[in-house]
């Protein structure tokens, strides 16, 4: 089922723009204690668009990445990690100034209680500039994904908006992963201005209820889920996915249909990372022409696998792993969604 029309002559399935960073997670034996008591960490590629790249790569899709990394060994780590997931890194460039790669330390106090400590001052990914974005590269992608964090600060926000404008010019569908992080934003008005600018030009929008509230806070505050979806269908959206954490998520289509999915039942190891797994498997299904119920089911399955895993990028599931997980869940709990 073709919800989005792709130009299949283009060599890259998806070009992602945003942050590639480093996640530092305490080893399993060090988890469930505060960061000041943790001593040993494992390093992974991090950052929402980088994680989605990893997920799509593990599922066999070819991605490209537009991003900026630090001019040091950590920058090398990020580039090599992206390459390891089959990503084209020709448009991942290194800073020429003092900016460093973002570091995210995770604090897992219990399976239900976790937080992150982010180092985001003078950060490499927000040094991305309009000179790093060109039309010929945008035309190589069947679609462009813009991560909302890239809009938090100049010059990255102008680079993201240039990519958006070139995507419009070249008939490249835009996916917007709102990806709200409080760091680097100055105020709510600033958030709404830039989020809304991209959202109103996107074919697919993915976000939590909080993220959509931030997006709409200046122009139409107080909308509920169906009203939010309709607002963006009156712009350019074809699919609007609104997530409610443990209460599941709903995909709204411009046809007027809506589809709900609940989370799978797993014993979590941590309380984060599921959203990037969800996005990668959901978008994989979009490229494969799956119906919406199947896209949501596999997205939910990927999210469940991620929250029970130690990290994010390295634990993105392959298609056989997703199928095995879903079969095990159906055997124990029954069908998650009705695909008939």
Question: pLDDT per residue over 33-47, tens digit each?
Answer: 899 998 999 999 999
The pLDDT score that the predictor gives to residue 338 is 60
- Domains, the chain, in order of start with CATH, read 14-20+49-99+121-333 (3.40.1190.20)
Selection from 194, 32, 51, 50 nearest residue 107 by Cα: 32
Selection from 64, 153, 175, 56 nearest residue 102 by Cα: 153
The pair of structure tokens assigned to 233 is 């269908």
Question: pLDDT per residue over 36-80, tens digit each?
Answer: 998 999 999 999 999 999 999 999 999 999 999 999 999 999 999
- Return per-residue pLDDT of the chain as tens, 340 residues: 789 999 999 999 999 999 999 999 999 888 888 999 989 999 999 999 999 999 999 999 999 999 999 999 999 999 999 999 999 999 999 999 999 999 999 888 877 777 888 899 999 999 999 999 999 999 999 999 999 999 999 999 999 999 999 999 999 999 999 999 998 899 999 999 999 999 999 999 999 999 999 999 999 999 999 999 999 999 999 999 999 988 899 999 999 999 999 999 888 877 777 899 999 999 999 999 999 999 999 999 999 999 888 889 999 999 999 999 999 998 888 777 665 4
Report the alpha-carbon angle 128-81-295, nearest 5: 90
The pair of structure tokens assigned to 17 is 């723009």
Interhelix angle 188-199/209-216, nearest 10 degrees: 100
The pLDDT score that the predictor gives to residue 112 is 73
The pLDDT score that the predictor gives to residue 183 is 86
Go through 318-330 and write b for each residue having 16 or more CB atoms within 10 A of its CB, e for each that does not. eeebbeebbeebe
Phi, psi of 206 (to 5 degrees): -120, 125
Cβ distance 53 to 65 under 8 Å? Answer: yes
Average pLDDT of every residue of the chain:
94
Whole-Å CA distances, 155 to 11, 48, 49, 131, 212: 28, 19, 18, 10, 24
The pLDDT score that the predictor gives to residue 245 is 85
Phi, psi of 297 (to 5 degrees): -65, -45
CA distance 308 to 315: 10
The pair of structure tokens assigned to 128 is 């991305």
Q: What pTM was estimated for this model as a whole?
A: 0.96
Report the alpha-carbon angle 134-122-201, nearest 5: 40
């Amino acid at each position: 089922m073709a919800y989005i029309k792709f130009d299949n002559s283009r060599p890259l399935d998806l070009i992602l723009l945003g942050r590639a960073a480093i996640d530092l997670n305490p080893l399993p034996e060090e988890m469930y204690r505060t960061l000041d008591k943790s001593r040993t960490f494992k390093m992974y590629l991090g950052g929402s668009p980088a994680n989605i790249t990893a997920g799509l790569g593990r599922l066999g899709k070819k991605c490209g990445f537009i991003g900026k990394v630090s001019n040091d060994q950590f920058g090398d780590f990020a580039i090599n990690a992206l390459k390891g997931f089959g990503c084209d890194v020709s448009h991942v460039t290194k800073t020429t100034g003092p900016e460093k790669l973002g570091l995210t330390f995770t604090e897992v106090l219990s399976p239900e209680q976790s937080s992150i400590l982010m180092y985001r001052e003078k950060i490499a990914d927000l040094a991305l500039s309009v000179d790093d974005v060109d039309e010929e590269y945008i035309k190589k992608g069947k679609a462009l994904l813009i991560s909302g964090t890239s809009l938090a600060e100049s010059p990255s926000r102008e680079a993201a908006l240039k990519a958006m404008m070139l995507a419009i010019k070249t008939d490249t569908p835009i996916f917007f992963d709102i990806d709200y992080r409080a760091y680097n934003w100055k105020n709510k008005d600033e958030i709404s201005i830039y989020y809304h600018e991209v959202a109103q030009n996107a074919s697919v929008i993915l976000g939590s209820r909080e993220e959509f509230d931030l997006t709409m806070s200046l122009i139409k505050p107080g909308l509920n889920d169906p009203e939010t979806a309709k607002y963006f269908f009156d712009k350019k959206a074809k699919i609007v996915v609104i997530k409610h954490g443990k209460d599941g998520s709903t995909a709204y289509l411009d046809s007027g249909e809506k589809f709900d999915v609940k989370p799978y039942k797993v014993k979590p190891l941590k309380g984060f990372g599921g959203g990037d797994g969800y996005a990668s498997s959901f978008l994989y299904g979009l490229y494969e022409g799956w119906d919406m119920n199947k896209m949501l089911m596999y997205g939910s399955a990927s999210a469940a696998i991620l929250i029970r895993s130690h990290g994010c990028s390295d634990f993105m599931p392959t298609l056989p792993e997703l199928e095995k997980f879903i079969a095990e869940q159906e055997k124990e709990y029954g069908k998650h969604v009705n695909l008939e």
